[in-house]
Amino acid sequence: MQIASKFTVAVHILTCIEIFGSERRVTSDFLSESTGVNAVIIRNVLGKLRAAGIVETRQGSGGANLARPLNQITLYDVYTAVDCIDDEGLFHFHENPNADCPVGRNIHKVMDGRLRSAQQALENELKSTTLADVISDTRKIIEEE
């Protein structure tokens, strides 16, 4: 299983808003062109980011802006805003392991804690990275081109 691509699309959107926002209106059509993702999906992701207080959007004239300073938006904020995981967590265990099989009967006991730890490690890493870090790295790479 992979984390939904909405997460990377959301980070791409936020990076574009910061990089291009002072030069132009950053609309869903512009973001669609940059991401290669349908504008309807872009608007859906923007709606989730808006609901989480990460972006502000303007109706009519279009365009999006960041609602908070870059150093106050973590990748974890983005991850949770776009619903990358549900209440079950990141890892979804197959539904019906065979209780008559010694592996099937015990696989949850062996794996559940490990999977919770792996998810926690991922979330901790996302919490320690801000959008300011992503923007800084992006600008450095663009300048080197």
Q: What is the mean pLDDT of residues 73-91?
A: 84
Q: What is the pTM of this model?
A: 0.86
Query: Residue 12 in contact with residue 35, Cβ under 8 Å?
Result: yes
Q: Which of 21-30, 103-112, 125-134 holds the top average pLDDT? A: 125-134
Q: What is the mean pLDDT of residues 108-131?
A: 94
In whole angstroms, what is the distance from residue 59 CA to residue 44 CA? 14
DSSP 22-53: TTS---HHHHHHHHTS-HHHHHHHHHHHHHTT
In this predicted structure, what is the pLDDT of residue 1? 38
Q: What is the mean pLDDT of residues 84-101?
A: 79
In this predicted structure, what is the pLDDT of residue 48? 96
Beta strands in the chain (DSSP E): 55-57, 64-66
| Burial label, 21 (beta-carbon count in 10 A; 0-12, 13-18, 19+) | middle
134: amino acid identity, one letter: V
2: amino acid identity, one letter: Q
CA distances (Å), origin 14, targets 19, 42, 64, 76, 112? 9, 11, 9, 13, 34
13: amino acid identity, one letter: I
Give the domains, in start order, of the chain with CATH numbers.
6-144 (1.10.10.10)
Q: What is the dihedral angle through the alpha carbons of 98, 106, 125, 86, rounded to the nearest 10 degrees?
A: 40
